[in-house]
A and B are shown apart, each in its own frame.
Chain A
Amino acid sequence: MNPRTTLAIIAGKAAGAASRRLGRGGGTAIAGVVALRIDPALVRRLAPQAGRGVVAITGTNGKTTTSLMLSHIADDAGARPLHNRSGSNMMRGIAATLAAEASVAGALEDARERLLILEIDEATLPEMARETKPSVVVFTNLFRDQLDRYGEVDTVARAWERALGELQAAPPTIVLNADDPAVAHLGREYAGRVVYYGIDDPGAAGDATEHASDYRTCLVCGGELTYTVTFYGHLGHWRCPSCGSHRPHPDVRAVEIESRGGGDTVAMRIDAPSLSLEVVLPMAGLYNTYNALSAAAAAVALGLPGAAVESALEGFSAAFGRQERFAIDGRDVHVLLGKNPAGLNQVLRTLAAQAGRKRLVFILNDGLADGRDISWIWDTDYELLQPQTDWPLAAGVRAEDMALRMKYAGYGDDVPVVRDVPAALRLALDEAPAGGTLFVIPTYTAMLEAREWLAKRAGQAHFWEEGA
């Protein structure tokens, strides 16, 4: 065994533990940085040991929830999933996940039964593909997010093509969202197996006037795309009138989608050549229907049994900060991550479909993991919730920009502005009546801050998460 690898694993484990003990967030990030510094080849040595292979999940929205769902499916199917579940989706996070589960001799524990499920940052996919040689790669969607970091949406699309190019020698199965023209494009001339998934229920169509849509032109010829059905953003049944390219027929389809329980759950049927399942998903929102569908399609690609898909999805509870609830002093606090226009519009639409007046805290940060450019708030339809809102608050590093956007959305000239996240949450809780519900809608780093404070107040154990 390479002594460097041993040292990297020991140091990685120790750094992670020490950082957690000191109560500094980001234990996984530090462990990974230390481990990779000592042995840059650590991931390449450990990942291939997973006997059931490596699944990579990437895309702008839904990768955390999808990978957690797939991990539960694998678990119910009797595999031993290993998942970078704290949302550490860059190389250091993957290194830390592997170091924590490896012996000091450099062997992955229970290697033969392991299925490695890796949530991957969009821009990290090429490097990650080289290092882990995944057998299945799942692409959720491609929306505008953090343009200041990635440059342009097309830069990400090109990075994905490059990543698949790197794997040409043994092309992995790719699992693609047929409804997203930018994602489906990856399958056009792909040499390996492609599994397409999509929503085949026109009744689930959204409001075509939504303002966040990032792929409007054909990737083949540049013509403007037309849609017979739009679900949200640029997701839908698309075709290009100029060159005739069109949405591929999905292999794994969601049909008969129906919102139940006042909008809290979604019933659907998932059809594939190998299975047909009736699933009641305990999560609201069409975006969660897509998450469940992409996890199911990944399960189909991996040959996991339908019974495991059904049981795991029906028993699913929300991923870290994505749709969580806290009970604090008799108030019900919901946290819903909203980090880019497409994702946030879905959150707003889902909330608007739920009955009842709302108390809202929008938290806008401009950290690197949020995107330093906050202009996306002008493409987000905050107007959707205004008619149902009793009490709004603008918070976060860019609270003043948030308040101005809320003024334009009709929330009034005097929306309270509180930059400090704990102070904002304290005020919102004080203002909420006993038995009342509060909706907290933060960007990514704001979600980490809000969640930590709320978990402490609610008396729950908390987790750390590194920057996305």
Chain B
Amino acid sequence: MSELALRVAHLYPRLMNVYGDRGNIMCLRHRCEARGIGFELAELGPGDTLDPTAHDLIFAGGAQDREQRNVADDLLATKAGALRDAVEAGVVVLAVCGAYQLFGKFYRDSTGVELPGARIFDVHTEHPGPSAKRLIGNIVVEWGGTTIVGFENHGGRTYLGSGTQPLARVRSGHGNNGADGYEGAVYRNAHGTYVHGSLLPKNPAFADHLIGLALRRRYGPDVVLATIDDRAEERAHAAALKLKP
């Protein structure tokens, strides 16, 4: 058991990193290294192919609308098929904000143009038009008997289809669409969410949930994550619970 390692793929680290998404990778690395678990990072950009068997956890973050369009073309051309295979094989995925939208069925932009997605999640996203308000602010959601805290900033509204479960229930903030009280989506071990902040550093329970899923899939159900010093993490989490939306 001493030779555990987490193999992480970061999709489009340069093109999709508007909201401090790098913090999520820093967090995965820290939480592995603090436990003596190896950490291997592969960064995949435009043109790179994805090997569905080479990674335990695949992460992608947020982008601006313009860059998201460029990424969407490349994603469908070089990675979407492998990504679906990986998800069906139980590989853990975390898609935040723009990537969450891209991993759905389609995104209808503010001018009505429909961009096809990677079809990981049975969700679709609609931008209600240039005059509609973006959903911006601090957000707290209820997940797994605890909370996830962070910030959301999205123009698109995401709606769940029947094949996907919500990740969490909104306590304060907007979530998927500001109307149905749901936030994010889960299909098998793939997780999509609008919460950034960065998401993982001050949500250590959720970070460990993802790491645990990934390691147990590869090394078996006996993998146990040792307790590590989370005082700074818990303080930041507790402080965020009290922020105005």
B33 to chain A, nearest CB (A): 11
Give chain B interface residues in 185-232, CB to chain A under 8 Å.
Answer: 196-198, 201-202, 229, 231-232
Mind listing 15 A-B residue pairs with CB under 8 Å? Answer: A148-B136, A151-B155, A152-B64, A154-B65, A217-B70, A224-B15, A224-B45, A224-B46, A375-B23, A375-B151, A398-B239, A400-B235, A401-B240, A403-B232, A405-B201
Give chain A interface residues in 345-392, CB to chain B under 8 Å.
Answer: 366, 372-379
A residues near B232, Cβ cutoff 8 Å: 400, 403-404, 407, 413, 415
Q: Is A159 in the interface zone, CB < 8 Å from B?
A: no
**In the complex with contacts A373-B153, A378-B198, A403-B70 CB distance below 8 A:** no
- Is A376 within 8 A of B229, CB to CB? no
- Is A401 within 8 A of B17, CB to CB? no
**In the complex with contacts A398-B239, A407-B232, A408-B30, A375-B196 CB distance below 8 A:** yes
- Is B15 within 8 A of A216, CB to CB? yes
Q: Is B233 in the interface zone, CB < 8 Å from A?
A: yes
A residues near B32, Cβ cutoff 8 Å: none
Q: Is A417 in the interface zone, CB < 8 Å from B?
A: yes
- Is A379 within 8 A of B22, CB to CB? yes
Most chain A CB within 10 A, of B14, B19, B153, B236, is at B236
A283 to chain B, nearest CB (A): 29
B213 to chain A, nearest CB (A): 23
Give chain B interface residues in 30-48, CB to chain A under 8 Å.
Answer: 30, 45-46
Q: Is B20 in the interface zone, CB < 8 Å from A?
A: yes
Contact string against B for A residues 153-170, beta-carbon threshold 8 Å, 1 for contact and 0 otherwise: 110000000000000000
Q: When chains A and B are docked, how far (Å) is the Cα of A374 from the Cα of B20? A: 9
Q: Which residue of B14, B23, B46, B153 contacts A147 across the interface (Cβ within 8 Å)?
A: B153
Q: Which residue of B69, B201, B233 contacts A378 across the interface (Cβ within 8 Å)?
A: B201
Q: Which residue of B22, B153, B202, B239 contacts A148 across the interface (Cβ within 8 Å)?
A: B153
Q: Is B177 in the interface zone, CB < 8 Å from A?
A: no
Q: When chains A and B are docked, how far (Å) is the Cα of A366 from the Cα of B233? A: 19
B residues near A154, Cβ cutoff 8 Å: 64-66
Q: When chains A and B are docked, how far (Å) is the Cα of A376 from the Cα of B137? A: 14
- Is B153 within 8 A of A144, CB to CB? no
Contact string against A for B residues 140-156, beta-carbon threshold 8 Å, 1 for contact and 0 otherwise: 00000000001101010
- Is B64 within 8 A of A400, CB to CB? no
Q: Is B18 in the interface zone, CB < 8 Å from A?
A: yes
B133 to chain A, nearest CB (A): 10
Give chain A interface residues in 129-160, CB to chain B under 8 Å.
Answer: 144, 147-148, 151-154
Q: Is B26 in the interface zone, CB < 8 Å from A?
A: yes
B residues near A147, Cβ cutoff 8 Å: 18-19, 153
Closest to A412 in B: B232
Q: When chains A and B are docked, how far (Å) is the Cα of A374 from the Cα of B69? A: 26
Q: Is A211 in the interface zone, CB < 8 Å from B?
A: yes
B residues near A403, Cβ cutoff 8 Å: 232, 235-236
